Amino acid sequence: MCPSPSPQGHDRGYIIPIGGAEEKVNNPDILKRFVGLCGDREANIVIIPTASQLDDTGERYEKLFRELGAGYTYSLPIEKRIDAKNEDLLQHLEDATGVFITGGNQLRLSTILGGTAVAQAIRRQNAKGTHVAGTSAGAAIISQHMITGGTTGIVPTEDGVNLAPGLGLHNTLVIDQHFNQRNRMARLLSAVSYNPFLIGLGLDEDTAAFINNNNVFEVVGSGAVTVIDPSDCDHTSMAEARTGEAVTIINLKLHILSAGSHFDIGNKVAHID
């Protein structure tokens, strides 16, 4: 899946992957900024809690966003693929200024939403200006290639990552979450080594990349975003590696970006204010 083209006269909305465990009480900088982008009191935020198997996840985010100043919030009760065809739910997406995809199991997201009218509506609305954020599993599914599992540690291996199709809101990134907290460098490097066209983003908890319509992101939150840029990669041994074998990758560029840092995805340039 690829991003939908933006209609003439429309700027693409922000795409906001969050590394999970975002602060909700003391300093909810990420969520508050999302609400502000969506319009504060004019905001109409739709929550997609499909990844979570907790009954109250959607309601908790509804309440949280209202407390942060959103004018209207609604959680879409999508638990089966047939729910993603519901015209009333699709209308909520059409009216939304923001969409928030919660954490949980990303394979629930891909198997329930993949290829449905809801997935198409999310891509279409983002192209028209609706902001789309996702935390944890909701961050992983934002990209075209979604990480669903893999090994911990630092060294990439032939079997170091599992991938599945994502929503395709962005097609040059592959995103991992809970990054430093769960020691996930190896699986992000493994994903990048399959195809060095992809830029790897490793998002720490309570940390987000706010990607604007110019394809530049700003880091917001208390942790860091690890950027793996393979654009100058001279060699990856993934094609020759045997099962479980370490993979050679030569000439990668690595950035560690904390709050206020920026990265231009198209030009592959990191900078600070």
- Render pLDDT for 238-258 as a digit per residue (tens, 0 to 9): 999 999 999 999 999 999 999
Please state the pTM of the whole predicted model: 0.97
> Using CA atoms, how far apart are residues 224 and 9, in angstroms rounded to an integer?
34
pLDDT value of residue 273: 79
In tens, the pLDDT along 113-165 reads 999 999 999 999 999 999 999 999 999 999 999 999 999 999 999 999 999 99
Which of 22, 62, 158, 205 is the catalytic position?
205
Cα separation of 36 and 68, whole Å?
A: 9
Tens digits of residue pLDDT in 16-62? 999 999 999 999 999 999 999 999 999 999 999 999 999 999 999 99
Q: Are strands 235-236 and 249-250 parallel, antiparallel or unpaired?
A: antiparallel
Does the annotation mark 136 as catalytic? yes
Name the catalytic one among 178, 190, 218, 261. 178
For residue 11, the tally of other CB atoms under 10 A from its CB is 12
Domains and CATH numbers, the chain: 15-265 (3.40.50.880)
CA distances from 150 to 27, 136, 155, 191, 244 (A): 32, 15, 12, 10, 11
3-state secondary structure (DSSP) of residue 147:
strand
Are the CB atoms for 72 and 19 separated by under 8 Å?
Answer: no
Q: Is 255 a catalytic residue?
A: no
Q: Which of 136, 143, 190, 193 is catalytic?
A: 136
- Any catalytic annotation for residue 10? no
